Structure 1
Amino acid sequence: MKLFILSIVLLGVFGGVADPIHARAVEAQTEEVAAPPRFDFPDVHRRAQELARESYSDQFTPLPEAFKNLDYDRYRHIRFIHEKALWYGENLPFLMRFFHRGFLFERPVNIHVIDEGEIIPVPYRAELFDYGDNQMPEQLSDDLGFAGFQLLYPLSSEKHYLEFAVFLGASYFRAVGRGQWYGLSVRGLAIDTGLPRGEEFPFFREFWVKKPKAEDTELTLYALLDSPSVTGAYRFILKPGLSTDIEVKASLFFRNKVQKLGIAPLTSMFFHGENTERYMDDFRPEVHDSDGLLMVSGQGEWLWRPLSNPHNLQIHSFLDENPKGFGLFQRDRDFNNYQDLEAFYHLRPSVWVEPLNDWGAGRVELVEIPTDAERHDNIVAYWVPKNSLEINKEYNFSYRLRFITDDSEIHPGGRAIATRTGGGGTDKLDTSKRKFVLEFTGKKLNTLPVDTPIQGIVSASSGQLSSIVVQKNNVTEGWRLFFELEPENNKPVELRAFLKSGYDILTETWSYQWQPNK
């Protein structure tokens, strides 16, 4: 588990149980029980709307000192006992395990199960956990609560349950498909990310999980989001499999005006990669959870932006209207490029955000934060609506999250799979220039004959471009684009490039900001 560079907070208190509704049949003079109330998204929607009319409260049951003072390693010693998982032994397709409060996760979150219309709270009990060699208080309060939960499903075989999703910390959650390792995280909402005033972290204070049936292949849960500025009602439909999908429906209500709202925020890590120009004293060639931002505009243009670990905070905006999708991707799947037998970076999932309703005008924003260690999540991407959001007005966003390994299933065209750079020149090194080498691949692109007249179209915001060459790469079966840049006064340069043949655009647009190596 990595520690987030951003703060992680939780909040919640346990509520009551809904009683079944009884109806009296007067004519028959008999009493019969009507169907129990059906708890659904409108109920969470109403709670979020009512909560927005109330003043924000940050009160919660404090943690005992024994849990509050745990460091990362000692917190990991507290393990949930698998045989006590929710629905264990009931032959259901899903299991649910819980996280103990402690370390960074001080706030309790309220968790309920919806079983045939009845809302049943899931109470904390000390005997659910193995505390390892931690010295715990002799008696623990039954209202201590949980920090979050894990969801399990037989991803590989019908009898072997594997963890596929985690909800833990503020509004953070993660998921994996078959054969993947946990990597980047998703959040319910981002507020004022990258602004001098500091970021506000909404949190899920309450969850309701529908008890699955034996034949179910998806799981539905609801969440109530809260923060000083925003409340929200969320519905998640989780569909685990080769690539795990999560459909999200969110209704937002505002207590206060928000300067910048981030929809479907993705949080990842990029320490160093093939495009990193400064020296990293690391035996591993690359270290990252994601290596680029992929997006497709409302007009259908595909754009790829390789990630970087900058010297200073960098915020990049890509204007659009009704985007068709965006995401943070791990395109490099070659173990040899990572050489990490613990982190398995080559197995980290990519996450694609696909809007399911019109999002209007706005921008995809990419935030790159300097970091000196891989334990920090330093990359954030999200959608920012153009129009300011008003208090006492409801806003609705629906989207699908896809946790995938191969992005060719959503992106059929030519893709940039590598970005390398070094000193310019041919016979002699010319340090006044920078040479860029881009690798493109794709099903259709790779089948083009070697004598196909392919052009490399390259543009720069400043400086001089030269030596633009396109060459068939017989090793990757794709095509390689070379060009050199002579920067102007050693200042940052925005670069764009793609391949074409005649009037046919063969690849996505590669977009990159070159920074002088200070």
Structure 2
Amino acid sequence: MKRRDVLMQLLGLAACGALPVSLIHAARAEDDAPVKSQPFSQEALRETAQRLAQEPYVAPSDARPPWLAALDYDDYQALNHFRADRSLWAGGELPFQARFFHLGLYFHYPVSIYEVVNGLARPIKFSPDLFNYDPRVKDKLPEQIGDLGFAGFRINTRSDWDRDMFSFLGASYFRAVGVSKQYGLSARGLAIDTGLDRPEEFPVFRAFWLERPAADATALTVHALLDSPSITGAYRFIISPGETTVMQVESCLFPRHAIERLGIAPMTSMFQCGENDRRVADDFRPEIHDSDGLALWTGSGEWIWRPLLNPHYRRVNSFADDNPHGFGLLQRDRDFADYQDDGAFYHKRPSLWIEPLGQWGKGAVQLVELPTADETMDNIVAFWNPAEPAQPGRELNFNYRLYWGQQPPVRPPLAEVVATRIGMGGIPGRKPLVPTRKFVIDFMGGRLDRLAKEAKVEIVVAASRGEIRDVAARPILESNQWRGHFDLIAGGSSPVDLRGYLRDAEGALSETWIYQWSPPPGA
């Protein structure tokens, strides 16, 4: 299908009350004709996504001219200096400014971006005058650069015009920061078939609409059109930057065909090594990760903590639930000493908590862990997978809030897991007769803070297979923490699912710790 054919289809949608939303930059570059403002509404965007799902999928093509495709990583960084004085809403009268990313490197095709004022959408046009090109690349640029379009955008706020608070760039990825102003993990609009035995599908945001904020606004509204071979969607983000940046997301999804594994509110992070997993740890830094655990607040009210892993092979865990209260990928280790990294600042990286709005019904939080050799590759994905399959002809609606910050908005009233450590089991100085692993879990908070050191506390442990030995719990005298520990004799090569929590005579003292231990290959 040719670009002209697609454009004509979209203009046909406009005549039916929907919006012409994709390939508009490419058409403008070819025709060199001005594009007038056009009416915009959230409902019209929803209708566009619905109608688009009934059309054959048209994949975006690589829009980089040869000179741009030839630039390397350092060249792209020298290219991608947006001029702050040319920001959308520059001048300081409004509380937000939008700045745009240059096409190039990993970002091969442009997205359409519009400003919405009083219900009218005006396209934001690319110009090389919007960027300060570094001398490194100036001799590699043609005399006429043309209308390349933008790869994405970022938003700065009045509190700090120099450092952005959130950005949308690449496929359906976006991310945000809180008070630390340190980026870390990312979110996505949608995940398709993640963790299966075939390549996953990456939906893309084809177009964005940024509503001009009022002078006293504390939130910015962004609309987006999502498209992929399997599904389309209309999104609205109401984003409130702050100490914790909050994004309220409303999504209307329209499957083109049946989807085996649909991922709602997906999060993407990195875990190379930590206290519990030293498999890839030939580094001076003790820990290297954007997140160290998956937290769950189930529909039944149970709080669960699952430390992350860098496994030998792809691992997918599914945690069944019914109307979950929330879940998230958290960074609990907050001391510089945990990482010893004064460049990446992992101790400042935000946690991300998902709060479902409305009834999500039955499904599962799914955790996908992939092996990684270094910190440059994201290897952790978590999302909600509805139990009811996504089928064509049906509209799916999922609303939720995302909280980006140092701490999630809600925490268990019980003690939290603060560390998990694993090593050789048995008694020091005595070689164990059979392979044994010792698990040591430290807890802090809740009623533990009020217990006497001589209080009777036990750790309740269960394993899917193998033998548990030497179970004990005690206070750590040098701190306000309690420690539970046990030995596991796995007796085989298949994974072992572990579960444990602290309790006393009054009941549970801690959240539930869960872990999947896999004996190393050849064990």
Correspondence for 1:324: 325
How far apart, in 1, do the equivalents of 2:277 and 2:62 lie? 46
Residues 458 and 495 of structure 1 are in contact (CA less than 8 Å); yes or no, is this contact kept in structure 2?
yes
| Alpha-carbon offset, residue 517 of structure 1 | 2.3
Correspondence for 2:182: 181
Correspondence for 1:136: 141
Correspondence for 1:32: none
CA 214–462 in structure 1, closer or farther in 2 if over 3 Å, else same: same
SS across alignment from 1:77? helix
1:479 aligns with 2:490: no
CA RMSD, Structure 1 to Structure 2 (Å): 1.6
Correspondence for 1:392: 393
* Alignment equivalent of 1:153, drawn from 142, 153, 157: 157
1:515 aligns with 2:518: yes
Residues 277 and 421 of structure 1 are in contact (CA less than 8 Å); yes or no, is this contact kept in structure 2?
no
With the length of structure 1 as denominator, give the TM-score of the two structures.
0.91
How far apart, in 2, do the equivalents of 1:114 and 1:226 lie? 21
Between stretches 486-495 and 496-505, larger displacement belongs to 486-495
Correspondence for 2:424: 423
Could you report, residue by residue, the CA deviation over 1:265-293 in whole angstroms, capped at 9, with x for unpaired residues?
Answer: 00000011111143621111110001111
Runs of 5+ unmatched residues, structure 2:
1-21, 28-34
Amino acid at match of 1:200: E
How far apart, in 2, do the equivalents of 1:494 and 1:326 lie? 20
CA 328–155 in structure 1, closer or farther in 2 if over 3 Å, else same: farther
| Alpha-carbon offset, residue 487 of structure 1 | 1.2
Correspondence for 2:441: 438
How far apart, in 2, do the equivalents of 1:480 and 1:429 lie? 23
CA 61–339 in structure 1, closer or farther in 2 if over 3 Å, else same: closer
CA 298–100 in structure 1, closer or farther in 2 if over 3 Å, else same: same
How far apart, in 2, do the equivalents of 1:408 and 1:237 lie? 17
Residues 155 and 161 of structure 1 are in contact (CA less than 8 Å); yes or no, is this contact kept in structure 2?
no
How far apart, in 1, do the equivalents of 2:189 and 2:362 lie? 20
Name whichever structure is richer in strand by fraction.
1
Residues 114 and 124 of structure 2 are in contact (CA less than 8 Å); yes or no, is this contact kept in structure 1?
yes
| Alpha-carbon offset, residue 294 of structure 1 | 0.5
1:104 aligns with 2:106: yes
Residues 155 and 177 of structure 1 are in contact (CA less than 8 Å); yes or no, is this contact kept in structure 2?
no
Amino acid at match of 2:168: F
Identity of paired residues, percent? Answer: 47
Could you report, residue by residue, the CA deviation over 1:442-496 in whole angstroms, capped at 9, with x for unpaired residues?
Answer: 1432222212221110111111111111111244412111111111124321100
Residues 440 and 480 of structure 1 are in contact (CA less than 8 Å); yes or no, is this contact kept in structure 2?
yes
CA 429–289 in structure 1, closer or farther in 2 if over 3 Å, else same: farther
How far apart, in 2, do the equivalents of 1:278 and 1:108 lie? 40
Runs of 5+ unmatched residues, structure 1:
1-10, 20-36
How far apart, in 1, do the equivalents of 2:442 and 2:92 lie? 51
SS across alignment from 2:358? coil
Correspondence for 1:13: 24
How far apart, in 2, do the equivalents of 1:474 and 1:248 lie? 45
Correspondence for 2:274: 273
Amino acid at match of 1:147: A
CA 426–207 in structure 1, closer or farther in 2 if over 3 Å, else same: same
Correspondence for 1:498: 501
Amino acid at match of 1:461: S
How far apart, in 2, do the equivalents of 1:408 and 1:92 lie? 28
SS across alignment from 1:162? coil
Between stretches 213-222 and 76-85, larger displacement belongs to 76-85
Amino acid at match of 2:98: M
How far apart, in 1, do the equivalents of 2:172 and 2:479 lie? 40
Correspondence for 1:252: 253
How far apart, in 2, do the equivalents of 1:483 and 1:327 lie? 27
How far apart, in 1, do the equivalents of 2:338 and 2:400 lie? 33
Could you report, residue by residue, the CA deviation over 1:94-151 in whole angstroms, capped at 9, with x for unpaired residues?
Answer: 0110000001101100000111222111000011112211121110212x10000000
Residues 446 and 509 of structure 2 are in contact (CA less than 8 Å); yes or no, is this contact kept in structure 1?
no
Between stretches 201-210 and 54-63, larger displacement belongs to 54-63
How far apart, in 1, do the equivalents of 2:60 and 2:311 lie? 38
Q: How does 1:39-58 map to 2 (within 5 A)?
A: 39-58=40-59
Amino acid at match of 1:43: A
Correspondence for 1:124: 126
SS across alignment from 1:47? helix
1:456 aligns with 2:456: no
Q: How many residues align?
A: 486
SS across alignment from 1:445? helix
SS across alignment from 2:164? strand
SS across alignment from 1:163? coil
Residues 466 and 491 of structure 2 are in contact (CA less than 8 Å); yes or no, is this contact kept in structure 1?
yes
How far apart, in 2, do the equivalents of 1:413 and 1:89 lie? 48
CA 97–496 in structure 1, closer or farther in 2 if over 3 Å, else same: same
SS across alignment from 2:341? coil
Name whichever structure is richer in helix by fraction.
2
| Alpha-carbon offset, residue 350 of structure 1 | 0.6
Q: How does 1:224-243 map to 2 (within 5 A)?
A: 224-243=225-244
CA 427–195 in structure 1, closer or farther in 2 if over 3 Å, else same: closer
Correspondence for 1:8: none
CA 504–116 in structure 1, closer or farther in 2 if over 3 Å, else same: same
Residues 155 and 162 of structure 1 are in contact (CA less than 8 Å); yes or no, is this contact kept in structure 2?
no
Amino acid at match of 1:136: L
How far apart, in 2, do the equivalents of 1:312 and 1:205 lie? 33
Amino acid at match of 2:496: V
| Alpha-carbon offset, residue 93 of structure 1 | 0.6
How far apart, in 1, do the equivalents of 2:131 and 2:430 lie? 62
Amino acid at match of 2:207: E
Amino acid at match of 1:110: S
Residues 126 and 149 of structure 2 are in contact (CA less than 8 Å); yes or no, is this contact kept in structure 1?
yes
1:211 aligns with 2:212: yes
CA 346–92 in structure 1, closer or farther in 2 if over 3 Å, else same: same
Residues 269 and 290 of structure 2 are in contact (CA less than 8 Å); yes or no, is this contact kept in structure 1?
yes
CA 128–490 in structure 1, closer or farther in 2 if over 3 Å, else same: same
Residues 440 and 483 of structure 2 are in contact (CA less than 8 Å); yes or no, is this contact kept in structure 1?
yes
Correspondence for 2:4: none
Could you report, residue by residue, the CA deviation over 1:352-399 in whole angstroms, capped at 9, with x for unpaired residues?
Answer: 001001111111100000111110000000011111122111010000
| Alpha-carbon offset, residue 410 of structure 1 | 3.1
How far apart, in 2, do the equivalents of 1:408 and 1:214 lie? 28
CA 264–411 in structure 1, closer or farther in 2 if over 3 Å, else same: same
Q: How does 1:355-370 map to 2 (within 5 A)?
A: 355-370=356-371
With the length of structure 2 as denominator, give the TM-score of the two structures.
0.90
CA 60–433 in structure 1, closer or farther in 2 if over 3 Å, else same: closer
CA 224–336 in structure 1, closer or farther in 2 if over 3 Å, else same: same
SS across alignment from 1:417? strand
Residues 467 and 489 of structure 2 are in contact (CA less than 8 Å); yes or no, is this contact kept in structure 1?
yes
